[in-house]
């Protein structure tokens, strides 16, 4: 068995474990979808009140914000759920198994991102389908390309999740900070309104993170919303964010684990 095969099998084992834990809460997925459906309904009727020349019509704003909801779900799944999962591992006393496994703690924690992302993809497909079937949101023929684009977006988001995981390993708590981070990103990233409406002194923030280009690309593929630069530039930005930051993020997580081991606090919660 090759090293790559061993890592692949270990990754699938963690995904299967996460799926089993998720399904053990029988109404969890239904409650999540009901919450999403409520958000779609709410923004549909809010869109009936929006009269902004930027969008041209209420339907355009509705499509704009629905894609924002989908990316928000993906953002929460990568940035918020991973610190919560590590916190659960600490409380349950199961993090030790990851530390001692041949797979390694860094790879195991990284693998924990996969199931939340896959769940966010399923949630996104259902959300877009609900908006299209119930409220007539138009879907472009390029919509299937949104799946690989979303995968690239997850690659760009992953380093930020690993950085927050490192904070949890050291400080044992990071949920409130992650909540503020997600709120800030949602404001400057163009999730629910164009960044052009922000004050000029803060608009630069939309250019120095991967969430805005991911949003623009998915809106273009799903609803035909024009991108501010070009598709190739949006793809390049996401690839660069993931490629440049992934190794430092993994290194910071490994450093946090070693620091906890030296201090003897790695298993404290």
Between CA 219 and CA 92 the distance in angstroms is: 40
Please give the angle made by the CA atoms of 15, 21 and 22, to the nearest 5 degrees: 90
| Pick from 177, 158, 157, 179: nearest CA to 167 | 177
Q: Tokens for 92?
A: 């349950």
Burial 162-174 (b: 16+ CB within 10 A, else e): bbbbbbbbbeeeb
Residue ranges of the chain with pLDDT lower than 50?
Answer: none
pLDDT digits (tens, 9 = 90+) for 165-201: 888 888 777 666 777 777 788 788 778 888 888 888 8
Could you tell me how many helices (H) and strands (E) the chain has, helices first? 11, 0
Q: What percent of the chain has pLDDT over 70?
A: 97
77 CB burial (10 A radius; 0-12, 13-18, 19+)? buried
Q: Where are the domains of the chain?
A: 7-263
The predicted structure's pLDDT at residue 52 = 67
The predicted structure's pLDDT at residue 109 = 86
């Amino acid at each position: 068995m090759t090293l790559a095969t061993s890592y692949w099998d270990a990754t699938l084992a963690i995904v299967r474990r996460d799926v089993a834990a998720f399904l053990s809460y029988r109404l969890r997925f239904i409650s999540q979808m009901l919450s999403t459906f409520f958000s779609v309904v709410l923004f549909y009727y809010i869109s009936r009140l929006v009269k902004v020349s930027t969008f041209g019509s209420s339907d355009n704003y509705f499509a704009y914000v629905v894609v924002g909801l989908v990316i928000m779900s993906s953002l929460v799944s990568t940035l918020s759920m991973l610190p919560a999962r590590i916190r659960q591992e600490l409380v349950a006393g199961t993090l030790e198994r990851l530390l001692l496994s041949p797979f390694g703690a860094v790879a195991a924690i990284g693998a924990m991102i996969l199931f939340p992302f896959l769940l966010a993809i399923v949630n996104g497909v259902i959300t877009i389908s609900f908006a299209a079937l119930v409220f007539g949101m138009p879907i472009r023929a390029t919509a299937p390309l949104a799946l690989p684009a979303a995968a690239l977006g997850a690659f760009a988001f992953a380093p930020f999740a690993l950085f927050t995981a490192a904070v949890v390993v050291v400080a044992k708590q990071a949920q409130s900070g992650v909540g503020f981070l997600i709120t800030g990103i949602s404001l400057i990233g163009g999730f629910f309104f164009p960044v052009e409406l922000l004050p000029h002194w803060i608009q630069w923030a939309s250019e120095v993170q991967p969430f805005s280009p991911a949003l623009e690309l998915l809106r273009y593929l799903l609803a035909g919303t024009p991108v501010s630069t070009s598709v190739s530039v949006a793809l390049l930005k996401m690839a660069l964010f993931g490629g440049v930051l992934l190794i430092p993020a993994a290194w910071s997580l490994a450093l946090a684990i070693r620091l906890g081991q030296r201090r003897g606090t790695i298993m404290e919660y």
